[in-house]
């Protein structure tokens, strides 16, 4: 889930009228705030304007009264941190934020749920995308949509299944990146000719599986269901289902958790048809517009 | 890997520096991102640091639009230039074709990234 409110922006002011922090304290303060999810600006003179609505927290070792600072349209709070240790400054920022919800890296890593979310979603290389809409017809989770100008766009990034790069495999033009993936070209590394042919082979999942991928999924899922009712042991049935899905997972780089969490066969069919219809309509509209 | 999409824009304006911490993943070697942050903070030069460009792009943070709209050159320490440009576009803040340099902390040493961030622009051929 993506927190709806903008996190506060922190400005460390070291311009005229403020004494600079020791370099090691400055480094430590930046690291601690960044790792807690705050954007931090080191400002030498004046304060860069903040986006409207963002709260700005200005920190500084002010000599005398705090200088006038120009923030955005949102509230600005100024804190004199003279004589404070880094930990105390971090505490002051946390309490200035108050109860506003905020995505937190450490909570996302621990997968504690709530407002936390690991930013994992497809990013499109518009220089490569040919607007073929294969990704839109493939995704069952409404991640993709169509812009007013009939172009593919990533509409609901938070719907994406964390660590699943499957849709990047269906793009014939290697235009889909997941910047936090572990390898290129999916992570955004330059695309070579060899990548294009390799990805094209890999992505022809239909051929690989001898048919439509969702039909295959439905089949596998229905088989697993039937087995489940025949077999008394739920554990056995689950193990069987996992075994059946492994081939699919390997072929399309879909994490097993994602396959295990797929909706019912009927729901998969409904969503796949809906996505296909959207893609067809978008392609037709784009063609009509040219 | 560095993407310098500008070899012609005059650099009479002080470049803006942007550092991405990649706080939600471990794709940037920790020693590299720590050393780059150390270099930037210890220099005392003004710069912007963000926890995670990916996270900001997902929620279309208006700070990205502000950075993209800047007329002074922009130097970014993050990851692959293609990914960084895609993220700005995702945020509705397409980066200009010129005046933006992306330094890749996934592949380059901290020394190289800092050298690129802190030295005056040298025209280099475009790499993507
Ligand atoms: S599959 Fe690739 S080329 Fe086709 S619309 Fe999606 S991103 Fe663009
Ligand atoms: S832009 Fe690159 S370095 Fe920054 S958070 Fe995303 S993956 Fe990490």
pLDDT in tens, chain A (290 residues): 566 678 899 999 998 889 999 999 999 999 999 999 999 999 986 555 566 667 889 999 998 777 666 555 668 889 999 999 999 999 999 999 888 888 888 877 776 666 678 999 999 999 999 999 988 988 888 999 999 999 999 999 999 988 888 888 888 899 999 999 999 999 999 999 888 877 554 444 444 343 455 555 555 555 555 544 444 444 554 454 455 456 556 666 677 777 777 777 777 778 878 888 888 899 899 889 87
Q: What is the pLDDT of residue A94?
A: 94
Q: What is the pLDDT of residue A49?
A: 59
The bound ligand whose nearest atom lies closest to the alpha carbon of A120 is: 2
Residues of B in contact with A187 (CB under 8 A): 27, 79-80, 83, 106
Residues of B in contact with A184 (CB under 8 A): 80
When scoring B1, B36, B52, B104 by the number of chain A Cβ atoms within 10 A, the one with the most, hence best to mutate, is B52
On whether both A91 and A205 belong to a single domain, the answer is no
Q: Is residue A32 a part of any domain in this protein?
A: yes
What ipTM is given for this predicted complex?
0.89
Q: What is the DSSP letter of A159?
A: G
Nearest by Cα to A163 from A237, A109, A91, A89: A109
Q: How far apart are CA A221 and CA A244, in angstroms?
A: 9
Q: What is the pLDDT of residue A226?
A: 55
CB-CB under 8 Å, B27 with A179: yes
pLDDT exceeds cutoff 70 at B123: no
Give the residue carrying structure tokens 């719907």: A159
Residue-range definition of the domain harbouring residue A209: 123-289
Inter-residue contact B77 to B36 (CB < 8 Å): yes
On whether both A127 and A268 belong to a single domain, the answer is yes
Residues of B in contact with A189 (CB under 8 A): 1, 80, 82
Helix axes A23-35, B30-43, angle to 10 degrees: 130
Inter-residue contact A32 to A90 (CB < 8 Å): yes
Chain centre distance of CA A43: 29
Domain C-terminal end among A84, A99, A116: A116
Interface of B with A in 79-108 (CB under 8 A): 79-87, 89-90, 106
Residue B18: what are its φ and ψ, rounded to 5°?
Answer: -130, 125
Both tokens assigned to B128: 């993507």
A131 Cβ inside 6 Å of ligand 1: yes
Q: Is residue A49 a part of any domain in this protein?
A: yes
Question: What spacing in Å lies between the alpha carbon of A83 and ligand 2's midpoint?
Answer: 34
On whether both A70 and A148 belong to a single domain, the answer is no
Q: Is residue A4 a part of any domain in this protein?
A: no
Q: What is the pLDDT of residue A228?
A: 46
A10 Cβ inside 6 Å of ligand 1: no
Q: Which residue of A has its CA nearest to B48?
A: A41
Inter-residue contact A175 to A125 (CB < 8 Å): yes
B32 Cβ inside 6 Å of ligand 2: no
On whether both A134 and A211 belong to a single domain, the answer is yes
On whether both A148 and A237 belong to a single domain, the answer is yes
Q: What are the residues facing B17 on neighbouring strands? A: B75
Domain C-terminal end among A53, A86, A116: A116
Nearest by Cα to A189 from B96, B106, B58, B80: B80
Q: What is the pLDDT of residue A120?
A: 95
Number of separate domains in chain A: 2
A56-62 and A18-19 strand pairing: antiparallel
Cα Rg, chain B, nearest whole Å = 13
Quote the longest CA-to-CA distance of chain A: 80
On whether both A199 and A159 belong to a single domain, the answer is yes
Q: Is residue A23 a part of any domain in this protein?
A: yes
Q: Is residue A1 a part of any domain in this protein?
A: no
Domain C-terminal end among A116, A142, A160: A116
Question: What spacing in Å lies between the alpha carbon of A135 and ligand 1's midpoint?
Answer: 6
Q: Is residue A253 a part of any domain in this protein?
A: yes
Question: What spacing in Å lies between the alpha carbon of A249 and ligand 2's midpoint?
Answer: 26
Residue nearest to atom 2 of ligand 2 (CA): B79
A132 Cβ inside 6 Å of ligand 1: yes
Inter-residue contact A146 to A282 (CB < 8 Å): yes
On whether both A143 and A258 belong to a single domain, the answer is yes
On whether both A161 and A237 belong to a single domain, the answer is yes
Question: What spacing in Å lies between the alpha carbon of B61 and ligand 2's midpoint?
Answer: 15
Mean of pLDDT values over B31-35 = 98
On whether both A157 and A42 belong to a single domain, the answer is no
pLDDT exceeds cutoff 50 at B11: no
Which of A34, A52, A125 is closest, CB to CB, to B51? A34
Specify the fold of B15-118: Rossmann fold (3.40.50)
Q: What is the DSSP letter of A162?
A: T
Q: What's the residue count for chain A?
A: 290
Q: What is the pLDDT of residue A220?
A: 54
Q: What is the pLDDT of residue A251?
A: 60
Helix (H, G, I), strand (E, B) or coil at B109: coil
Residues of A in contact with B62 (CB under 8 A): 6, 51-52, 54
Task: Spell out the domain ranges in chain B.
Answer: 15-118
Both tokens assigned to B81: 């230039």
- Whether omega for the bond prior to residue A185 falls within 30 degrees of 0, making it cis, is yes
On whether both A61 and A172 belong to a single domain, the answer is no
Q: Is residue A3 a part of any domain in this protein?
A: no
């Amino acid at each position: 889930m993506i927190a709806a409110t903008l996190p506060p922006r922190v400005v460390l002011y070291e311009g005229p009228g403020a004494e600079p922090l020791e370099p090691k304290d400055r480094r430590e303060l930046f690291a601690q705030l960044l790792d807690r999810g705050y954007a931090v600006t080191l400002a030498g003179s004046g304060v860069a304007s903040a986006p409207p609505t963002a709260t700005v927290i200005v920190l500084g070792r002010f000599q005398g009264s705090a200088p006038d600072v120009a923030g955005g349209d949102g509230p600005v709070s100024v804190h004199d941190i003279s004589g404070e240790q880094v930990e105390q400054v971090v505490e002051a920022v946390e309490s200035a934020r108050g109860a506003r919800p905020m995505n937190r890296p450490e909570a996302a890593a621990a997968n504690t749920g709530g407002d936390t979310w690991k930013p994992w979603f497809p990013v499109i290389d518009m220089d490569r995308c040919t607007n073929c809409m294969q990704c839109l017809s493939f995704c069952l989770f409404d991640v993709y949509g169509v812009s007013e100008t009939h172009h593919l766009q990533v509409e609901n990034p938070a719907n994406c299944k964390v660590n699943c790069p499957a849709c990047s495999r269906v793009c014939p033009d290697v235009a889909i990146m997941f910047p936090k993936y572990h390898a290129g070209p999916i992570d955004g590394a330059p695309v070579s000719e060899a990548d294009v042919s390799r990805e094209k082979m890999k992505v022809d999942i239909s051929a690989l599986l001898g048919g439509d991928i969702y039909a295959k999924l439905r089949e596998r899922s229905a088989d697993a269901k039937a087995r489940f009712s025949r077999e008394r042991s739920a554990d056995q049935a689950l193990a069987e289902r996992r075994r059946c899905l492994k081939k699919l997972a390997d072929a399309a780089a879909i994490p097993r958790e994602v396959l295990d969490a797929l909706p019912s066969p009927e729901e998969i069919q409904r969503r796949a048809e809906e996505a296909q219809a959207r893609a067809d309509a978008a392609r037709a509209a784009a063609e009509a517009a040219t | 890997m560095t993407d310098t999409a500008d070899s012609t824009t005059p650099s009479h304006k002080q470049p803006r520096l942007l550092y991405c911490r990649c706080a939600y993943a471990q794709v940037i070697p920790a020693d590299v991102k720590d050393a780059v942050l150390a270099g930037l903070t210890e220099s005392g030069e003004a710069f912007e640091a963000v926890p995670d460009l990916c996270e900001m792009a997902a929620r279309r943070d208006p700070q990205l639009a502000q950075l993209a709209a800047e007329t002074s050159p922009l130097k970014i320490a993050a990851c692959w230039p293609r990914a960084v440009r895609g993220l700005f576009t995702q945020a509705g803040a397409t980066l200009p074709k010129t005046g933006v340099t992306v330094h890749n902390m996934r592949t380059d040493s901290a020394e190289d990234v800092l050298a690129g961030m802190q030295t005056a622009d040298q025209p280099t051929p475009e790499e993507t």
